A and B are shown apart, each in its own frame.
Chain A
């Protein structure tokens, strides 16, 4: 029985934590929020230099050839310190899509550049304010050219490439597009988290190359989403743990009515509830990590379980962290809001909590998985 990370993986996590603490990622995140930037180039360059963008990329493409488990521990640390970098878009989504579905030629031309940082990728799915499904995708691929508009595309400004979900005749296909093309128009969209960038991306007869089987676009997308769900769940438990730690420290230091507020049962029970939610999420994320790294048949169920628990935990911990801080928690000056906003962005970017609960029940109906 070993539902835990190895000593080497824990060491990698410790190094990641030290690096991000030394760089003061949280302070960088605040600086990004206070500026009109949506990410930090300096921190990103260092992350590329450390090789993190190539963790899962096989050595034959100049990557580190490590497993999803190494990616999970890095994700937890990035989430804990809210690093404002396009890591999730490029590594959890774009790179995973390339590794899973790219042709040899596509892998050869793109994967090494993801390692070196010359390519940054993202994934474009949403088009309207309805949850995307295989029947409401309107961005169209015709004769190798892509047209239409995607919205809420993360990191599109810094990204050089995107995997785009497109209608292709009667089916849905995934295709890779060079975002630097003249026929692509990218506009920033205001969003709730000032440290993250979301964009509308319009394609005007842009060259696009199909990735993966052209009729399996939607099921391939679901697979990428499952990968993303597990990896994002680690960012979420990292953020949830940081929120709980902040609340805990404050509850011990802040006095009211002549005693630390953490001595009041109402506060203790609040923090205990946060701990319970986080523990459930963490255990389910570990299970998701196992399913992902071993390519288990249970992956759809395990990924949805991790996603639902981690979303609930980060939302609860970040909102109750603000509550614990009282009026201070509502200020720009305190860090609480950065976690609150990140938690909501992370809970929406792959589809909302209700959507993932639905995915979970569907997976149970299909697989007849028993506890």
Chain B
């Protein structure tokens, strides 16, 4: 056992590092703070575009993609090494991840060669931003229960309906979209997958105000939107199959919750006191921090086990599937702890104080426990895919979609 790179990995890491040092600034404690939770203000968008272009020109934008689309055909372990190094620098995040992480792989697998040539390089370069249009007001965890309708009309499809929780829809150029083409078929069989120009007539984007007060997500309305059949990905009726590849990716890969962790709780407990006793000297506090430390350490070492498998060229085990469940719940607990440590004034927010990161963690964690697969859905996935337990009995099995009870 050791924590060292292989010689090839070390060489690659040094290469990443050299380029990053020449083109970006290392994070400091200040740039690392939890401020600026909202994505989508103009300057961040510009900064992100500039950074993406810089990376693309130097071959770092999508290193695991084939050369013809702007990548360098990097191995999985090289991809991790790049991400590790990039994360140490103060660079804009949150604009391109959905498009490159979700839309990219679908286009790579299902688009025609001409389409790939047309769309993938600008996606990698950051010239065109992509979003993902899956969830609907009545289809969250049960996303296959979506109701947006597509009706074929010659060479085109006419789409009507509403999508929701679409990150970045307001600044996206294209989106991947799953809709229902035939409600007389069973739930999963009546779905078809497209990509759509977000500037198409009939598309209306409205921001959702989150409980944090910010708006990172949107509702997207489709009103007689015309999509050419040539933009269909996969066969008619294959929409679920196409969607599930990205969904599984999202549900298992939405990673570590950023923000306060055991160390910050530890530091805070040294600063606050109660009845003349430092919080860190309180037994209950010590036990809680010990447990959070063990969870954080467990996640870190789980990641290292996954990396070890990739480094050997093996397929990693399913261990990484625990990441979001553990980290989002830990974040919420630590956020609570932080505010409790200030007792009666714990609710007071001060932009200038470091303390606000506990409050932001507490608010953000409530969303993280839902985004990209709720705790409950993720546990179902672990139970079914890792432990092999049978599916829940379902009330919608074998029914035509239109006959499924919807409660409305």
Contact = CB atoms under 8 A, between A and B. Distances in A.
Most chain A Cβ neighbours within 10 Å, of B3, B376, B384, B387: B387
Contact of A371 (B263, B287, B290, B308): B263
A371 B301 CA distance: 10
A361 to B, nearest CB: 5
B290 A361 contact: yes
B382 to A, nearest CB: 4
A46 interface: no
A281 B290 CA distance: 14
Contacts of B393: 259, 263
Nearest to A285: B301
B286 A2 contact: no
The contact size tier of chain A is 35 or more
Contacts of B312: 2, 4
B294 A305 contact: yes
A260 B304 CA distance: 36
Contact of A262 (B1, B263, B299, B390): B390
A348 interface: no
Interface stretch (B33-41, B240-248, B318-326): B318-326
Contact of B384 (A2, A268, A280, A357): A268
B28 interface: no
Interface in B263-316: 263, 266, 280, 283, 286-287, 289-291, 293-302, 304-305, 307-309, 311-312
Given A1-B4, A5-B1, A265 B380 contact: yes
A213 B391 CA distance: 61
A252 B387 CA distance: 10
Contact of A272 (B2, B286, B294, B382): B382
Contacts of A264: 392
B308 A2 contact: yes
A1 B390 contact: no
A357 B286 CA distance: 7
B296 to A, nearest CB: 5
B7 interface: no
Contacts of B378: 272
Given A268-B379, A276-B322, A3 B301 contact: yes
B389 to A, nearest CB: 4
A198 interface: no
Contacts of A272: 378-380, 382-383, 387
A252 B388 contact: yes
B9 interface: yes
Contacts of A284: 294, 297-298, 301
Interface in A244-281: 244, 248, 251-252, 259-260, 262-265, 267-269, 271-273, 275-276, 279-281
Nearest to B394: A263
Contacts of B307: 1, 3
B262 interface: yes
B390 A260 contact: yes
Interface stretch (A124-132, A202-210, A287-295): A287-295
Name A's interface SS: helix
Nearest to B386: A275
Nearest to A302: B297
A357 B280 CA distance: 13
Given A284-B298, A305-B293, A361-B289, A1 B326 contact: no
A36 B301 CA distance: 43
Given A268-B383, A286-B1, A371-B261, A1 B9 contact: yes
A68 to B, nearest CB: 10
A271 B389 contact: yes
Contacts of B280: 361, 365
B117 interface: no
Nearest to A258: B393
B293 A364 contact: yes
Contacts of B322: 275-276, 279-280
Interface residues of B, number: 54
Contact of A263 (B296, B298, B302, B391): B391
B5 interface: yes
A2 B9 CA distance: 12
A296 to B, nearest CB: 10
B326 A3 contact: no
A308 B376 contact: no
Contacts of A279: 298, 302, 319, 322
B373 to A, nearest CB: 12
Contacts of B289: 361
Contacts of B311: 1-2
Nearest to A247: B387
B325 A276 contact: yes
B287 to A, nearest CB: 5
Contacts of A308: 290-291, 294
Contacts of B380: 265, 268-269, 272
Interface of A: 1-5, 69, 244, 248, 251-252, 259-260, 262-265, 267-269, 271-273, 275-276, 279-284, 286-287, 289-290, 293-294, 304-305, 308-309, 312, 354, 357-358, 360-361, 364-365, 370-371
Interface of B: 1-5, 9, 77, 261-263, 266, 280, 283, 286-287, 289-291, 293-302, 304-305, 307-309, 311-312, 319, 322, 325-326, 376, 378-380, 382-384, 386-393
7 contacts: A1-B307, A4-B1, A69-B1, A268-B384, A283-B302, A308-B291, A365-B280
Given A244-B387, A260-B390, A290-B2, 19 more contacts: A1-B2, A1-B77, A1-B304, A2-B311, A3-B1, A3-B308, A69-B1, A262-B390, A265-B376, A269-B376, A272-B379, A275-B387, A283-B299, A289-B1, A290-B3, A305-B297, A308-B290, A357-B286, A361-B286
- Give me the 10 closest cross-chain CB pairs, A-B, nearest first: A280-B298, A268-B383, A283-B301, A357-B290, A272-B379, A262-B389, A272-B382, A283-B302, A290-B1, A3-B304
